[in-house]
Amino acid sequence: MRTVKWNAFLSCLCVLAAALGGLAASVRADVTIDKGASVLIFPKVRADGTFETTIQIANTGNSLVVAKCFYVNASGSQCQETDFTILLTKQQPTVWVVGSGRPYGYYGGIQPGAIPPMGNSFIGELKCIETDLTGAPVTGNHLKGETTIEAVRTGVDSKTGLQVTIGDVTKHNALGILGNPAATASNPVTLDGGATYAACPGKQILNFLPTGSSDPLSPATTRNYNELTLVTCQEDFENQLWPTVVVQFLVFNSYEQRFSASTSVKCFLNTELTAIDVPSRQNYFNTSVFGVGVLQTNEAQVEITPVPYSNGTSTAVAGVGERILVQAGTATRAGINLHTDGDLVAVPPDQIRMPTGF
Amino acid sequence: MRKVKWNPLFSGACMLLGGMLLWVGAARGDISSTNPAALLIFPKIVVDTSAGVDTLIQITNTADVPINVRCYLVNATPQSPPATTGSLLPPTAITTTTCIETDFTFLLTAKQPIMWKASAGLQFLPLSALMGPGGQRNAGSIPPAPQDPMVAELKCVEVGLAGDEYPIDSNDLIGQATIENINTPDIQTYNAYGVQSIAGQNNRDNTLVLGQEYNGCANYLILDHFFDNAPDTVGSGPVRTSLTLVPCSEDFVLQSWPRIVVQFLVYNEFEQRFSTSRTTGCFSELVLSDIDTRAGNTGANDNYSIFNFLVQGTLTGQTWIRGVQGTSSGNGLLAIAEEYHSDGAHFGAYVPIQKGTRSKNDTIKLVGASPAAP
């Protein structure tokens, strides 16, 4: 039998590396809006005749960066993916409008490549993954992004039933997933908690003013509403497969009282909070655990947690919120990046599988 | 000549170790606007009730146990000449070098969210008189804004429960601020920056060392923005962006703030680079074009700014922001940006990303909870 001799110093190094690896996994938790990243998630993108979205992406690095981007249109009965590639020179920012895309030469600056228009029936998400020139994912952490969602008409949003006022603007930072610069990534992109990429959050927290509550600045004439958008972190663009995730909501009011609700997410969820537990919309101010009639306080927090499947595996979700203030028929929105607490390193880890070459 | 033989396995282990160290090092310098933390920083709180403007401040305890919070409101309103109604609302140019700090303490029960109007404060917290399900009560109150109009920064730090009120290394706080203009109406929300304490590093005194006891401020802030007066890609009117900067280092004991030279590197979509600089103190809020030109949006000045669409010729740019390090202070900065559309009628807030770590630490010197405290 062959005997393997261990060098004590080498063994020590390995143990140290493993320990540091564990530390890295524990400190490098989840999605971020404060760092350049290797994967960008824009959970809420709308170009549907009610809203139009402007996307900004920038390369924060000193060398050329390629990003493979995937629109996921959830406006129909199933999710539909469309992808394209952008190429950014060092420090280059770029911008486009989702509905009209970025035809070659349409805006000034070095052209990042043609970006397809999504027309006026798009509700969904955008994910962009940093790659090399061959299309293989790389963990460079050079990408950052923002969305600006503008209302293009006044009326009622058919998606959520909420009031919309033309010109209103909502701004979000894109969610970034960090890659481990020391790792070699491959397709599928594996959100393993730090060995290759950070994982999606285990828990997200939204502070909100209960739906139906009046605004503290102008109590007599105002109502607050809340919109939540969630997307799954596991996506298979090669086989066009998306998991269905049950999401648990734990709501705490200012009296420390706890309420709960749940719903399921298949690739994309965009809803007013009270529609989660009162889809009939009957008297929802007073019957929903997100409504002012139930919560009885002007402020609440909700913890949003994906529930593991019965076989022990799980899939994380990531998202954004919006507060909507309606005053005498005029609506205004504010974008909210959700707080996150810890990561969900699923077994097996969440993966984003890009289409392979033909 | 002596030849060194490399063991491939050993070399691999070294590379792995190096990579891990880099990865850990990068993670240590984070200040996050999404994770629970021990120190919250709200860069901009604005009150101007005559103009219908106020700020809703939300702070939440994410822990299952009660926590004590000490907050420091840094009033940056220009005092001479006194600010008047509307004068603090964008487009504006405020660079304050001498601020006035006031502080207050309150106790949050387990998982409790609270909210208050900056103008009014909160005399009674929700569980001041009642007892919560966990048998806990709130303590303390929140004073109203010391003046109206007012622009300010707010810092809140998690402190001990046992009466000493010294900072502790627990990361339980999240916060957000919503600036509302009830006349327009329009609202924008941003998350407070959360500075996480590093486990085991807190020496429980009133000097917070960012980069040692707490995560450090980044070397650069990187802001993506429309160049000022660029046409709105969707709506009507030009787009303008204002930037609020606050220092990471503050001395509330001596009421002194560092003078920080801020360097701006601007890249357009042609990969061209421009730069300018400006000095800031305890608070600065500037429309981007006013960083390098006179305040105000007139063609005589803004059209010559390197932050202006007419100069750059592309819709968007990327600006790297760096506080020049002092001899003893890191001079780190934190910022929020506000993007104005429809001639200022609608706006949205967002944060720049952070990059790199500083070789010098930033410090926040807190006023002690009692006169005897150091």
pLDDT at B10 over 70: no
Instruction: Identify whether A4 is part of a domain.
Output: no
Same domain, A210 and A103: no
Residues 15-54 (B) with a CB less than 8 A from some CB of A: 15-24, 26-28, 30-36, 52, 54
Same domain, A59 and A107: yes
Closest Cα partner for B135 from A256, A229, A15, A350? A256
- The whole-number pLDDT of residue B315 equals 95
Determine, for residues A28 and B117 on separate chains, whether the beta-carbon distance falls below 8 Å: no
- The whole-number pLDDT of residue A16 equals 45
Same domain, A175 and A298: no
Chain B contact set for A213 (CB, 8 A): none
Instruction: Identify whether A242 is part of a domain.
Output: yes
Q: How far apart are CA A123 and CA A75, in angstroms?
A: 5
Same domain, A69 and A110: yes
pLDDT at A12 over 50: no
Closest chain A residue by Cα to residue B348: A171
| Degrees, nearest 5: CA angle A336-A340-A344 | 135
Same domain, A344 and A301: yes
Chain B contact set for A194 (CB, 8 A): 23
**Of A135, A163, A191, which residue sits at a domain end?**
A191
Name the pLDDT band for A7 (thresholds 50, 70, 90): low
Chain B contact set for A167 (CB, 8 A): 235-236, 341-342, 345-346
Residues 117-156 (B) with a CB less than 8 A from some CB of A: 117, 126-127, 130, 132-134, 136
**What tokens were used for B13?**
């282990």
Q: What is the mean pLDDT of residues A169-198?
A: 95
Same domain, A234 and A108: no
Proportion of chain A above pLDDT 70, given as a percent? 92
Of the candidate ranges A72-86, A247-261, B48-62, B75-89, the one whose mean pLDDT is the lowest? B75-89
Sequence-distant (≥ 6) Cβ neighbours of residue B132 within 8 angstroms: A255, A256, A257, B109, B110, B112
Same domain, A163 and A46: yes
pLDDT (tens digit, 9 = 90+) per residue, B136-186?
A: 999 999 999 999 999 999 999 999 987 778 999 999 999 999 999 988 899
Q: How far apart are CA A317 and CA A247, in angstroms?
A: 8
Name the pLDDT band for B11 (thresholds 50, 70, 90): very low
Same domain, A252 and A114: no
Chain B contact set for A254 (CB, 8 A): 112-115, 126-127
Name the pLDDT band for B24 (thresholds 50, 70, 90): very low
Determine, for residues A16 and B17 on separate chains, whether the beta-carbon distance falls below 8 Å: yes
Determine, for residues B22 and A54 on separate chains, whether the beta-carbon distance falls below 8 Å: no
Residues 3-62 (A) with a CB less than 8 A from some CB of B: 7, 10, 13-14, 16-17, 20-21, 23-24, 27-36, 52, 54, 56, 58, 60
Chain A contact set for B235 (CB, 8 A): 150, 152, 166-167, 169
pLDDT (tens digit, 9 = 90+) per residue, B321-355?
A: 999 998 888 999 999 999 999 877 889 999 999 99
Selecting from A7, A337, A339 the residue whose C-beta is nearest the C-beta of B36 gives: A339
Q: What is the mean pLDDT of residues B104-132?
A: 95
- The whole-number pLDDT of residue B236 equals 86
pLDDT at A325 over 60: yes
Determine, for residues A332 and B178 on separate chains, whether the beta-carbon distance falls below 8 Å: no
Q: Is A65 at the interface with chain B, CB within 8 A?
A: no
Chain A contact set for B346 (CB, 8 A): 150, 167-169, 332
Residues 206-245 (A) with a CB less than 8 A from some CB of B: 207, 209, 215-218, 222
- The whole-number pLDDT of residue B209 equals 96
Same domain, A205 and A179: no
Selecting from A91, A257, A325 the residue whose C-beta is nearest the C-beta of B185 gives: A325
Q: Which range of residues forms the domain containing residue A224? A: 201-350
Residues B254-279 as b/e (b if ≥16 CB within 10 A, e otherwise) read eeebbebebebbbbbbebeebebebe
pLDDT (tens digit, 9 = 90+) per residue, B290-330?
A: 999 887 777 678 889 999 999 999 999 999 999 999 888 89
Name the pLDDT band for A29 (thresholds 50, 70, 90): low
Instruction: Identify whether A1 is part of a domain.
Output: no
Residues B49-75 as b/e (b if ≥16 CB within 10 A, e otherwise) read bebbbbbbbbbbbbbeebbbbbbbbbb
Instruction: Identify whether A25 is part of a domain.
Output: no
Instruction: Identify whether A81 is part of a domain.
Output: yes
- Predicted interface score ipTM higher than 0.85: yes
Q: Is A107 at the interface with chain B, CB within 8 A?
A: yes
- The whole-number pLDDT of residue A341 equals 92
Instruction: Identify whether A6 is part of a domain.
Output: no
Same domain, A338 and A235: yes
Burial of A342 (0-12, 13-18, 19+ CB in 10 A): middle
Selecting from B14, B191, B269 the residue whose C-beta is nearest the C-beta of A94 gives: B269
Closest chain B residue by Cα to residue A343: B35
- The whole-number pLDDT of residue A258 equals 96
pLDDT at A9 over 80: no
Q: Is B351 at the interface with chain A, CB within 8 A?
A: yes
**Of A133, A162, A191, which residue sits at a domain end?**
A191
The C-alpha of A96 sits at a distance from chain B's nearest C-alpha, in angstroms, of 8
Determine, for residues A27 and B28 on separate chains, whether the beta-carbon distance falls below 8 Å: yes
Determine, for residues A35 and B180 on separate chains, whether the beta-carbon distance falls below 8 Å: no
Instruction: Identify whether A149 is part of a domain.
Output: yes
Q: What is the mean pLDDT of residues B50-62?
A: 96
Name the pLDDT band for B22 (thresholds 50, 70, 90): very low
Residues 141-170 (A) with a CB less than 8 A from some CB of B: 144-146, 148, 150, 152, 166-170
Q: What is the mean pLDDT of residues A65-72?
A: 97
pLDDT at A2 over 50: no
pLDDT at B17 over 50: no
Same domain, A160 and A229: no
**Of A172, A191, A210, which residue sits at a domain end?**
A191
The C-alpha of B26 sits at a distance from chain A's nearest C-alpha, in angstroms, of 9
pLDDT (tens digit, 9 = 90+) per residue, A86-136?
A: 999 999 999 999 999 998 888 889 999 999 999 999 999 999 999 999 999
Q: How far apart are CA A50 and CA A158, in angstroms?
A: 9
Residues 79-98 (A) with a CB less than 8 A from some CB of B: 89-95, 97
Of the candidate ranges B216-225, B252-261, B337-346, B355-364, the one whose mean pLDDT is the lowest? B337-346
The C-alpha of A238 sits at a distance from chain B's nearest C-alpha, in angstroms, of 31
Structure-model confidence comparison of residues B8 and A47, the more confident one? A47
Same domain, A174 and A211: no
- The whole-number pLDDT of residue B356 equals 92
pLDDT (tens digit, 9 = 90+) per residue, A262-279?
A: 999 999 999 999 999 999
Q: How far apart are CA B367 and CA B102, in angstroms?
A: 10
pLDDT at B16 over 60: no
Structure-model confidence comparison of residues A260 and B164, the more confident one? A260
pLDDT at B85 over 70: yes
Selecting from B13, B54, B115 the residue whose C-beta is nearest the C-beta of A14 gives: B13
Mutate to test the interface with A, among B53, B56, B201, B233 (most CBs of A within 10 A): B233
Chain A contact set for B232 (CB, 8 A): 150
The count of domains in chain A is: 2
Name the pLDDT band for B368 (thresholds 50, 70, 90): confident
Structure-model confidence comparison of residues B141 and B1, the more confident one? B141
- The whole-number pLDDT of residue B298 equals 73
pLDDT (tens digit, 9 = 90+) per residue, A286-314?
A: 999 999 999 999 999 999 999 999 998 99
Mean confidence (pLDDT) of chain A = 91
Map chain A to HEC letters: CCCCCCCHHHHHHHHHHHHHHHHHHHHCCCCECCCCECEEEEEEEEECCCEEEEEEEEECCCCCEEEEEEEEECCCCCCEEEEEEEEECCCCEEEEECCCEECCCCCCCCCCCCECCCCCCEEEEEEEEEECCCCCECCCCCEEEEEEEEECCCEECCCCCCEECCCCEEEEECEEECECCCCCCCCCEEECCCCCECCCECCEEEEECCECCCCCCCCCCEEEEEEEEEEECCEECCCCECCEEEEEEEEEECCCCEEEEEEEEECEEEEECHHHHCCCCCCHHHHCCCEHHHHCCCCEEEEEEECCCCCCCCCCEEEEEEEEEEECCEEEEEEEECEECCECCCCCCEEEECCCCC
The C-alpha of A33 sits at a distance from chain B's nearest C-alpha, in angstroms, of 7
Q: What is the mean pLDDT of residues A20-34?
A: 58
pLDDT at A284 over 50: yes
pLDDT at A20 over 60: no
Instruction: Identify whether A216 is part of a domain.
Output: yes
Q: Which CATH number belongs to the domain containing residue A223 in this structure?
A: 2.60.290.11
Mean confidence (pLDDT) of chain B = 88
